[in-house]
Amino acid sequence: MKQMHRRQGRHRNHRNHSLYTAPDNCRYKVAAVPDVKILNSLGFYPGTVIHKKKQYRLGGPVLICRATREIALGKDIASAILVEEDSTL
Amino acid sequence: MKCHIIAEDSKVLAKENKILLMGTPNVGKSVFFSALTNVHVISSNYTGTTVSYMEGTYQVGETQYTLIDVPGTYSLAATSVAEEVAIRFMCSNPVAVLFVLNAADLEGSIKLALEVMEYNIPIVFALNLMDVSERKGFAINVKLLEQELGAPVIPTIAVKGKGLDEITKTFAQLLGGERPALSERSCSSCSGCAGCGVTAGNDGLEYWERARQIVRKVVSRTDAQPNFLDRLGDALLRPWPGLPLALLILLVSLGIVVGGGKALRAVLLLPLVNQGIVPFFERVITPLNLPPVLHNILIGNYGVLRISFEWILALVMPYVLLFQVQFALLEDSGVLPRIAVMFDSLMRKLGVQGGSLIHIFLGFGCAVPAIIGTRTATTHKERLMVTAMVCFAIPCISQTGALISLLSAYSVGLLLATALTGAVIFVTVALVLGKFLKGNVDPLILEVPNLLIPEPRAYFKKLWVRIKQFLVEAEGPMLIAVFIAAIIAETGILAGLAELLKPVVSGWLGLPEGAVMSLILGIIRREMSVAPLLSLNLNPLQMYVGAVVSLLYLPCLSVFGIIAKEFNARTAVVITVCTTFTALLVGGLMNHLVLFVQSIF
């Protein structure tokens, strides 16, 4: 619950964008994940901090780092993940 | 109350003394399995190599246990087939779990470990990939990790065999004393597991939180700089220089297989067969004065003792051997998933996703493992699409070898023309199926493994397993094909069939009557549809048409069997009918098209 409040608090200050359109090479905090179980299994929850490394052109995937795990997410799934800038640096 | 609602009454599940080998995907479980049981299983550097479980005998002290290599999963939430298999095993009263942690990605590993520990089964942790972890600059306090997890943790580098004895010793201590009675782990004392759907409303977030706290305590960063492999691994993920590098790697691999295979065939194997083996048998058999039919079946033009060596030893083996040498390197290094990521956008436009590329690459070896590998696909549509694409237009390495021998003897251009035709069919099949098959294909979700230098021990073991597998599984059907060829050619059946199929073979496809042999043998194995063409003195157009027909022709008997098993008999029949029809249609059309163009100029 505490986390939810924190998230909503930040919500006012920061614009949410989809992981797909968010700029490369930045750290983000996940704001919302679609209901795809494998994303939870890989550790994507609201509040998870991820590093977007790269977005491939021409409808390619997004390459992200979650803790020490490097994961490629296809365009459709990356578009459905909402992120906000991470200000906890 | 029966807890394990999805438990099956299978022999393996019912076995006593089971130790489960578990962990996240691509952490090296299969390497442990091979080393601890001496049953050789294939391991690779990408997720989903083990798509079903494997069992083997594991000797701990005086007792024999059954070690089970459970497919790797990211959670125990029963969201995929692999996870269901894992849960089924967790619920089948195993005596212990050997859980393999990834030292280079501890958080995700510990998260799964926490889920597994909910089942209250004695557990030993192997902290694997210690070398990669050190390379990446992590220092792990193993003693502290043991305290946090409340179970023994043994640092290992499985591919080098480090720490394996320690694991067996630990199991001996753990299981040597009084064995925990089965009733202690029964459902009545269980607080709920994914097996019975009681997960206390936990969607996994709590496990992640606890895993993160543990990692924070036990892992510290050293000042290790990313080394060459890390930088190369990163470079291979960027379009520049990754894309040219990937193409270069694939081209060099192709060059080694094609060039090396041709050289091996020309320099070593053809002289051996034509000047050594076949003349030897001729000298042995001719003085026997056998009846002419029997003599011809043994050593005539299509004689068993001639073509089994000409086709199998000199035509197929050099390419199969070199392909396995090369492909095992690609698999173990972690290059394939990087190519899958970079080509995801292209594959997406074809209606599948980048991860399917790994199965398609497997198909260049043999369609059977490729089709089994598609079990990792998340939707039925994707499985079926990839299976059909492989069956239609991806030649297995034996067939590729035969095609190279047939076409490049005349010109490389002919080989390229055939490859291009195959590519057009490949794209067409993907687009047509993508449009007309019901269902959808999930987007790419792929963990990118660390780039590794293949460990010689594991590499050679794998190579040996693959080649042995080829000899055992392919040799039989190839010899059967050779026998059939000998009998129908030397008894006059071939001439009869040729007369019957003349309108198709000669009229429509423009091939000599003898090519009917290709269509018959191609039913058994794909390369056998090419081999008979070699001795027919074809003109370039006939070579091209013959190659295209054989490339698109029906999948071999083993592939038919595996499609029937993995999907159903109807699917296998439909694919077979479609490929055969396409082969004859495209072959004939190309024949008439070229003839038409030639008649104009």
Position A29 scores a pLDDT of 94
Q: Report how far apart, in Å, the C-alpha atoms of A27 and of each of A21, A49, A89, B279, B378 are.
A: 14, 7, 9, 72, 29
**Which of A53, A59, A68 is the closest to B348 by Cβ?**
A59
**Which of B79, B344, B442 is the closest to A72 by Cβ?**
B344
HSE on the CB side for B123, CA within 13 Å?
A: 25
Integer Cα distance of B438 and B514 in angstroms: 42
pLDDT above 70: percentage of residues in chain B: 93
CATH assignment at residue A71: 2.30.30.90
Over residues B11-26, the pLDDT tens digits come to 777 778 899 999 999 8
Is residue B102 within 8 Å of B23, Cβ to Cβ? yes
A34 is a domain residue:
yes
Position B512 scores a pLDDT of 93
A1 is a domain residue:
no
Over residues B266-316, the pLDDT tens digits come to 999 999 999 999 999 999 999 998 998 899 889 988 889 998 899 889 999
Counting the structural domains of chain A, the total is 1
Position A10 scores a pLDDT of 44
Which residues face B227 on adjacent strands? none
Position B49 scores a pLDDT of 73
Chain B hits for A69, Cβ within 8 Å = 105, 107-108, 447
Q: Largest Cα–Cα distance in chain A?
A: 40
Over residues B78-125, the pLDDT tens digits come to 777 778 888 888 988 899 999 999 999 999 999 999 999 999 999 999
Is residue B590 within 8 Å of B545, Cβ to Cβ? yes
State mean pLDDT over B225-241: 89
- Judged by a CB distance cut-off of 8 A, whether residue A42 touches chain B is yes
Instruction: Output helix, strand, coil percentages for chain B, rounded to the nearest 5.
Output: 65, 10, 25
Integer Cα distance of B54 and B42 in angstroms: 11
Range from B173-182, B335-344, B439-448 carrying the lowest mean pLDDT: B173-182
Over residues B47-74, the pLDDT tens digits come to 777 767 888 899 998 889 999 998 888 9
User: In which domain, by residue range, is A58 found?
Assistant: 16-85
pLDDT above 90: percentage of residues in chain B: 59
If pLDDT is split at 50, 70 and 90, which confidence band does B10 have? low
State mean pLDDT over B384-388: 96
Over residues A15-42, the pLDDT tens digits come to 678 999 999 999 999 999 998 888 988 9
Name the closest residue on chain A to residue B353, using Cα atoms: A74
Q: How many beta-carbon pairs below 8 A join chains A and B?
A: 111
**Contact assignment for A43 to B108 by CB distance below 8 Å:** yes
A10 is a domain residue:
no
Q: Is B126 helix (H, G, I), strand (E, B) or coil?
A: strand
**Contact assignment for B446 to A63 by CB distance below 8 Å:** no
Tell me which DSSP letter residue B377 carries. Answer: -
Residue B144 in tokens: 């502290």
Which residues face B102 on adjacent strands? B128
Integer Cα distance of B313 and B32 in angstroms: 35
Name the closest residue on chain A to residue B211, using Cα atoms: A43
A11 is a domain residue:
no
Position B270 scores a pLDDT of 93
Angle at the Cα of A9 from the Cα atoms of A7 and A14, rounded to 5 degrees: 85
Q: How far does the CA of residue B136 sit from the closest CA of chain A (Å)?
A: 10
Residue B77 has pLDDT above 80, yes or no: yes
If pLDDT is split at 50, 70 and 90, which confidence band does B195 have? low
Q: Is B457 helix (H, G, I), strand (E, B) or coil?
A: helix
Residue B418 has pLDDT above 50, yes or no: yes
If pLDDT is split at 50, 70 and 90, which confidence band does A88 have? low
Integer Cα distance of B157 and B151 in angstroms: 19
Which of these, B264, B204, B361, lies nearest to A39 by C-alpha position?
B204
Over residues B135-190, the pLDDT tens digits come to 889 999 999 999 999 999 999 999 888 999 999 999 999 887 655 544 444 454 45
* Beta strands across the sheet bearing B153-155: B54-60, B63-69, B18-23, B96-102, B123-128, B153-155
pLDDT above 70: percentage of residues in chain A: 81
State mean pLDDT over B359-367: 94
Is residue B529 within 8 Å of B550, Cβ to Cβ? yes
Position B457 scores a pLDDT of 83
State mean pLDDT over B331-356: 94
Is residue B216 within 8 Å of B24, Cβ to Cβ? no
A2 is a domain residue:
no
A39 is a domain residue:
yes
A3 is a domain residue:
no
Is residue B91 within 8 Å of B195, Cβ to Cβ? yes
Position A85 scores a pLDDT of 87
Integer Cα distance of B515 and B505 in angstroms: 7
If pLDDT is split at 50, 70 and 90, which confidence band does B2 have? very low
- Helices marked H in B352-455 — which ranges? 356-365, 367-373, 380-393, 397-407, 412-436
Query: What pTM does this model have?
Result: 0.88
- Helices marked H in B491-566 — which ranges? 493-500, 502, 516-521, 540-552, 557-566
A5 is a domain residue:
no
Position B170 scores a pLDDT of 94
Over residues B465-520, the pLDDT tens digits come to 888 888 888 888 888 888 888 888 888 888 898 899 999 999 999 999 889 999 98
- Judged by a CB distance cut-off of 8 A, whether residue A69 touches chain B is yes
